[in-house]
Amino acid sequence: ASGIIFTADPITTNRKLLSIDAGFGLGEALVSGLVSADCYKVQNGQIADKRIAAKKLAIYGRKQGGTETKQIDPDQQMSQTLTDGQILQLARIGRQIEAHFGQPQDIEWCLADDTFYIVQSRPITTLYPIPEANDQENHVYLSVGHQQMMTDPIKPLGLSFYLLITPAPMRKAGGRLFVDVAPRLTTRAGRETLLNTVGADPLTKDALMTVIERDFIKLIPNDQTAPIPGNGQTDMPAQFENDPTIVSDLMK
């Protein structure tokens, strides 16, 4: 058998969900689109989902050289390419490779005589970059540009100038600026205020509602109606002082 490992799900970009495509025979049949592959999803060391495809053909190597395409027996066409144990073993290998390179990987593999062989590993180039954080906590980032109806990426000069004149701590990723609203989601009052603030955009509001319903950011224990965290605990901008020299100082 052979196939591909994506250590981050290429459809949802979920970095915690590993995706495996697998088919019988050589990988050429998969890469060329000759056959559909089984797809297995693994998260936290457990199989989260399996989709078994009808595999009618497979390409095999010939002892004298070259390859040949063969029909798969009808009773084998809907069988699972890899056992559950092999799926989890392959997922562990994928995570080891990802840890070695320090970023999500697109890995080609093959299975021969019950042994997995890694053919190639390269970064997944289609994932949108995540703003850098110095902890392992959950974060929720809102695009500043989309809030301002500027959906295109901002050029480096524009990014640096925007950061120069804003009091809000913002993060850069993919040519855009983001504000982390996770601190505001830790209280009921903060959640209500945030939803009212961004509610003009139904897509953003729906996304935040999904985050809240998933309990992605926990409420503060025993203080579920606490006030919104003050400056320093959140990324919301502070008020400007009414100082006429602000503009001239910035220009200098």
Q: Walk along the chain (252 residues) and give the pLDDT tens digit of each residue.
A: 999 999 999 888 899 999 999 988 888 777 777 778 899 999 999 999 999 888 777 788 888 888 778 877 777 777 888 999 999 999 999 999 999 999 999 999 999 999 999 999 999 988 888 888 888 889 999 998 888 888 899 999 999 999 999 888 899 998 999 999 999 999 999 999 999 988 778 888 999 999 999 999 999 886 545 444 444 444 555 555 677 788 888 888
> In this structure, are 41 and 14 located in the same domain?
yes
- Domain end among 92, 123, 154: 123
Residue 34 lies in a domain: yes
Task: With beta carbons less than 8 A apart as the criterion, state whether 25 and 1 touch.
Answer: yes
Same-domain check for residues 113 and 187: no
Q: Where would I find the H helices in the chain?
A: 28-31, 84-101, 144-147, 156-165, 188-198, 202-213, 245-251
What pLDDT was estimated at residue 3?
93
Q: Is the separation of the CB atoms in 180 and 145 below 8 Å?
A: no
Domains of the chain: total: 2
In a domain, 210, yes or no: yes
Same-domain check for residues 119 and 145: no
The model's pTM is 0.67
What is the per-residue pLDDT for 2? 92
Asked whether residue 66 falls in the same domain as residue 150, the answer is no
User: Are residues 82 and 154 located together in one domain of the fold?
Assistant: no
Range of the domain at 155: 141-238
Residue at 243 is within a domain: no
Same domain, residue pair 109 and 40: yes
104 and 10 both lie in a single domain: yes
Please indicate, yes or no, whether residues 53 and 152 belong to a single structural domain of this protein: no
- Considering the domain architecture, whether residues 180 and 114 belong to the same structural domain is answered as no
Q: What is the pLDDT of residue 22?
A: 92
Q: Is residue 251 part of a domain?
A: no
